[in-house]
Amino acid sequence: SGRGGWADPHNGGKYSVTSSSSTELQTQRATNPAKSVGHKIYMDKQVFTFSDKGDSSCQIDGCSKSQSFSVADFSTNYCDMRNLFCGSADGCKSVLKDFTSTESSVKPSIGASHDFSACIVKAQSSSVAAEHLDGTIHA
């Protein structure tokens, strides 16, 4: 598990921060080979930008893109992003602070989906297929 006991609820992938500043965060997520198609490791990269809204809130814009070819992503890239900022109201475990978010726009690429119910996978769930999304999410 990660910081504060946090674990990726979408089939136990592993995240790492590749770059960060006060306004941008770049991460990558490697799939858990025990739960992925062909028991392989697939890599997705994410970029988040943060904008102060001036009312004690911020806007998060994000993009996640698979680094391998796929036809459908079964919401994997959406979940790659969403699971990093969902809170207890969504059924997620927070690392440092629990907060709420409102999703205002999701623009998935062809073949990609954005079903939040796919983001929190319970034990002994089915495998996740290879991923592909090149879109934007606003929360």
pLDDT above 70: percentage of residues in the chain? 86
Q: Per-residue pLDDT for 135 more than 90?
A: no
Distance CA 38, CA 35 (A): 9
Lowest mean pLDDT among 1-10, 61-70, 120-129: 120-129
58-66 vs 136-138, strand pairing mode? antiparallel
Q: Per-residue pLDDT for 139 more than 50?
A: no
**pLDDT, the chain, mean:** 84
Reference 65, options 21, 3, 111, 127; nearest CA is 111
Per-residue HEC secondary structure of 39-65 comes to HCCCEEEEEEEEEECCCCCEEEEEEEE
Average pLDDT over residues 116-139: 53
Can you give the pLDDT at residue 123?
Answer: 54
Instruction: Flag whether the pTM goes above 0.75.
Output: yes
